Amino acid sequence: MTSPALEVTGLRKVFRVAEPASGFAARLKALFSPTWREVVAVKDIDLRVEEGELIAFIGPNGAGKSTTIKMLTGILHPTAGQVRVLGVVPWEQRSELARRIGTVFGQRSQLWYHLPPRDTFELLSHVYEISRADYRQRVGDLVERFEIGEFYDIPVRKLSLGQRMRCELVASLLHRPRVLFLDEPTIGLDVLARARVRDLLLELNRQEGITTFLTSHEADDIEEICRRVVIVNRGEMVLDIPVKELKHRFLQVKVIDLRLRELADPPAVEGVRILKKKGHGLKLEVDTTAVPIERALSELFKTLSIADIVVSDPPLEEIIGAIYTGEQSVNPPIGTCAVRAELVEAPAGDALRQAQGELEPERHGD
Amino acid sequence: MRSLAKYFAIARISARSSSTYLADLAGRTGFFILILFILSRVWDKLLGAGTVEGLKQRDLVWYLVFTESLLLAVPPFEQNIEEEVRSGSVAYLMIRPVHYLGHHLAAFLGEVSVRLSLNLLVGAPFALLLGGPPPAPPAGIPWALVATLLGLTLHFHLLACLALIAFWLEETRPFFWIYQKLLFTAGGLMIPMEFFPGWLRTVLDHLPFSSVLYAPARLGVRYDPALAFGLIARQALWLGVFVALSHAIYRRAATQLQVNGG
């Protein structure tokens, strides 16, 4: 059995925060003897990521994602727990680890703003002590794969966000990292640029087997890049599941878009409700826990003259959003299961077990 | 050797980056010429053909060219450090195989080299015109260069100590303000140490400020092996103190950052 790229056991981080004092005397006193409050940012996270995995690590703002990434990259010391990234303890061997991991922080550039990307790449080749021959071969390969040749010699300040992000990725890959930490790499990019970055990351994973650890608020990124998703909330890991399964397990609703030949009202079927009705267009939502999709469709075909039909899942972002906010379902009026509500409210262990199917979700509403 | 090469690479890219701000540099140069002109006229009026401790009007014009060139060559790097501390991006620089302060020092020296060269290129003809040929013989040039490097490195570490205080204090600008004023007065920006009364000079000689500007400028004006040795030894001593202090502050700050998130 090969050793994992990341192995995390009981990871915990507690910050001490000075309580703000009110009034001059209290503030003066607090300067010398502050009152401390403990904030648990990360609660006992267990995680194992195999080499070459593409994993999304997501959660709402303040969930503990950044703190976890900082511990995995050696920036922060944990309060408790064990971490091994590529076999090393990050905060003890930070410099050694730095040569084996790559990082892209969507909101912080590592490129020199007034100079062409070429200059930053050249600098990084020295920083990572890459031999000249290896650097020339590597940068040539990456420039070609990421198609940045046409703006390789143009100052970074003149590049579009998408072009810049491709250069950021090249910069993070020059030293052939084995693990890539991507913190919102598509933030601010337009649809086309996002798709391009996603394609490149997938291609990179296929060709070089780089383990990719991604945080993003973009559901498309998660769905299209990652095979597995870990959701954290309030410092706890609430879900660790394949992306495909996330949809199936948490999606008990389907959306049906119909184009009718003749105007008519849909039949009353339990678990089916109208979302939108305009002219010959009709949009319905089916709660598959109340009625199987086949039966709902068959009822519709019996009474309606249908010119066109599309059956789809609600977008992934709705599922994730519901998990974050603790809503009872992706579409609350119909109600599907209680898992999402308890993902946030219940202790991490229960929530995780429940999410992974050990506890039966209960029906709400109807 | 490779380890050192990375810092040279940082200095090179910083120099190249700073040379892209030509309009900014040209603006500074205009201000530089104005200062030189006014102060050279003041020295002309005060000294005429006389001397103070062997320094003539010509020496003082060149002294001013050196001190002002040095001071105006220094980029506001401390603001970058402070900003990195406040925004938390200092953490992201820590995961590079390069020392944080070493990275900033290399970038600082790279940028200073461009700005200082430009200032001297502009200032030297001006001093030639107003004061005459440079007084220091060629033998003094290596000493002046060593003192310049030591003075700038000391200046960097002094400012780094102040900038790193941002880890603990909300407001650090008063410290920079005080340091700048001390450099102007006790550092000999406009008036060489020779002009101060004996007791005051003794006090100032025991402070680090004159090692930043006075030492390199003085050696650029007049070469005296004994004086050169004394000034450079004092610079080296202060540099040792502030390198140790800035690294101690950085280690403490980094530990705090690693343990408590800054």
Average pLDDT over residues A343-358: 37
Residue B217 lies in a domain: yes
Average pLDDT over residues A144-148: 87
> What is the SS3 assignment for A162?
helix
CA dist B3 → A100, A120, A179, B66, B98 (Å): 17, 17, 23, 32, 8
∠ CA A182-A188-A191, nearest 5°, is: 95
Residue with tokens 């050793």: A3
- Residue A101, token pair as written in the block: 């991991």
More confident residue, A72 or B45: A72
Among residues B50, B35, B33, the alpha carbon closest in space to that of B195 is found at B50
Contacts of B8 in chain A (CB under 8 A): 126
Q: Where are the beta strands (DSSP E) in chain A?
A: 6-18, 36-49, 54-58, 80-85, 101-105, 179-183, 211-215, 228-233, 236-242, 253-260, 272-278, 281-287, 306-312
Pairing assessment for the beta strands A101-105 and A179-183 based on DSSP bridges: parallel
* B162-168 CB contacts, 8 Å cutoff, 24+ apart: B162/B78, B163/B78, B163/B79, B163/B81, B163/B82, B163/B85, B164/B81, B164/B85, B164/B246, B164/B249, B164/B250, B164/B253, B165/B249, B166/B81, B166/B82, B166/B85, B166/B86, B167/B85, B167/B249, B167/B253, B167/B256, B167/B257, B167/B262
More confident residue, A165 or A121: A121
Helix, strand, coil: what percent of chain B each, to 5? 80, 0, 20
Contacts of A112 in chain B (CB under 8 A): 13, 17
Residue with tokens 């340091």: B179
Q: CB A115 to CB B17 under 8 A? A: yes
8-state DSSP, B193: G
Nearest to A127 among B98, B258, B260 (CB): B98
Nearest to B92 among A41, A108, A127 (CB): A108
Q: What is the pLDDT of residues A171-201, one digit of tens each?
A: 999 999 999 998 888 887 777 888 888 888 8
8-state DSSP, A82: E
Contacts of B2 in chain A (CB under 8 A): 126, 129
pTM: 0.78
Q: CB B6 to CB A127 under 8 A? A: yes
pLDDT, position B258 = 67
Q: How far is A232 from chain B (nearest CA, A)?
A: 19
* Closest alpha carbon within chain B to A97: B95
Low-confidence ranges of chain B (pLDDT < 70): 1-2, 22, 92, 136, 258-262
Identify whether the C-beta of residue A165 lies closer than 8 Å to the C-beta of residue A218: no
Q: CB B5 to CB A126 under 8 A? A: yes
Q: CB A127 to CB B91 under 8 A? A: no
Q: CB A103 to CB B95 under 8 A? A: yes
B5 touches chain A (CB under 8 A): yes
Q: How far is A221 from chain B (nearest CA, A)?
A: 23
Contacts of B95 in chain A (CB under 8 A): 73-75, 94, 97-98, 101, 103
Residue B152 lies in a domain: yes
Residue with tokens 């220091």: B136
Q: How many CB pairs under 8 A join A and B?
A: 77
Identify whether the C-beta of residue A81 lies closer than 8 Å to the C-beta of residue A89: no
Contacts of B5 in chain A (CB under 8 A): 126, 129
* Closest alpha carbon within chain A to B15: A115
Pairing assessment for the beta strands A228-233 and A54-58 based on DSSP bridges: parallel
Q: What percentage of chain A exceeds 90 in pLDDT?
A: 29
Residue B262 lies in a domain: no
> pLDDT band at residue A107, thresholds of 50, 70 and 90?
confident
Residue B84 lies in a domain: yes
Q: How far is B92 from chain A (nearest CA, A)?
A: 8
Contacts of A120 in chain B (CB under 8 A): 13
Residue A362 scores a pLDDT above 80 = no
Q: What percentage of chain A exceeds 70 in pLDDT?
A: 87
Q: How far is A17 from chain B (nearest CA, A)?
A: 9
Domain of residue B224 covers 2-255
**Of how many residues is chain A composed?**
366
Q: What is the pLDDT of residues A313-341, one digit of tens each?
A: 776 667 777 777 665 444 433 322 223 33
Average pLDDT value over all residues in chain A: 81
Nearest to B17 among A105, A114, A122 (CB): A114
Q: How far is A11 from chain B (nearest CA, A)?
A: 14
Q: CB B13 to CB A94 under 8 A? A: no
Q: Which residues pair with A15 in a beta bridge?
A: A39
Report how far residue A240's alpha carbon sits from residue A55's, in angstroms, rounded to the nearest whole number: 10
Report how far residue B119's alpha carbon sits from residue B135's, in angstroms, rounded to the nearest whole number: 18
> What is the SS3 assignment for A88?
strand
Q: How far is B23 from chain A (nearest CA, A)?
A: 14
**A8-12, A244-248, B88-92, B97-101: segment of lowest average pLDDT:** B88-92
Contacts of B16 in chain A (CB under 8 A): 115, 119
Residue B261 lies in a domain: no
pLDDT, position B260 = 58
Task: Provide the edge-to-edge strand list for the sheet that holds A179-183.
Answer: A101-105, A179-183, A211-215, A54-58, A228-233, A236-242
Query: How many folded domains does chain B comprise?
Result: 1
B21 touches chain A (CB under 8 A): yes
Report how far residue B255's alpha carbon sits from residue A24's, in angstroms, rounded to the nearest whole number: 30
Q: How far is B148 from chain A (nearest CA, A)?
A: 26
Q: How far is B90 from chain A (nearest CA, A)?
A: 10
Contacts of B92 in chain A (CB under 8 A): 75, 103, 105, 108
B254 touches chain A (CB under 8 A): no
* Closest alpha carbon within chain B to A92: B258
Question: Alpha-carbon torsion B251, B254, B260, B262, what sign?
Answer: positive
Contacts of A94 in chain B (CB under 8 A): 94-95
Best mutation target, A38, A75, A132, to test chain B (most B CBs within 10 A): A75
